[in-house]
Amino acid sequence: MTRKRVHLAVYDTYADWETGHATAYLARAGYEVRTVGPSAEPVRSIGGLRVQPDLALDAVRPQDSSLLILPGADLWDTSDDLAPFARTARAFLDAEVPVAAICGATAGLAREGLLDDRAHTSAVSFYLAATGYGGGERYVDTDAVGDRGLITAGPTEPVAFAREIFRLLGVYEGEVLDAWYRLFHDSDAQAYAVLEKAAAR
């Protein structure tokens, strides 16, 4: 049986803390997480981790994926080096394959015009406004937002970001999704019993 596949973008200065909750629990749920770099050459995260991408960006096709995840990175704001990832996000959304972007990646998508007609969030509204994009009226001041296959979140919300990914893909639902969020976001010990019960079923 072919495992479901998600693609995690990795590039120099990517924020390694922003996607860990999502990728760890997607893997536990049976997804194959494939890393995608600008090329096949290794990249280094903002935390100094050296990552060898599984494949280069030009080899990624929406039809082979369940989701594209774009973490933040210094490079989103200091150069155009990551613009090809924003263009790939457009191709995914055009093919009705979801995209999840956090932190600086939201600015990249704003520059690509992908937030002009979707509800979205980021670090703060004026961060995206500085890109000159046309979607300011659709900015939502909350932890994470999902709209028509696109999830956005700010840099301080990796757990809420993961929650919206799980909701979109149906990894967890209802009280189990709520319990997962309460456990990892609020350190609610009572939520653990809900997850244990669900895992036993």
Structural domains of the chain ordered from first start: 4-170 (3.40.50.880), 172-201 (no CATH)
Of the pLDDT bands very low, low, confident and very high (cuts 50, 70, 90), residue 2 is low
Cβ atoms within 10 Å, residue 176: 18
pLDDT by residue (tens digit) across 6-52? 999 999 999 999 999 999 999 999 999 999 999 999 999 999 999 99
- Which residue in 10, 33, 103, 169 is the catalytic one? 103
* The pLDDT value given to residue 1: 38
Model confidence over 70-116: pLDDT tens digits? Answer: 999 999 999 999 999 999 999 999 999 999 999 999 999 999 999 99
How many Cβ atoms are within 10 Å of 56's Cβ, its own excluded?
Answer: 13
Amino acid 3: pLDDT: 61
pLDDT of 180 > 80? The answer is yes
The CA distance from 198 to 194, in Å, is 6
Residue carrying the six token digits 């093919």: 95
- The answer to whether residue 73 is catalytic is no
What is the value of pTM for the model shown? 0.96
Q: For residue 103, what is the enclosing H or E element?
A: none
Residue 114's nearest CA partner among 83, 141, 142 is: 83
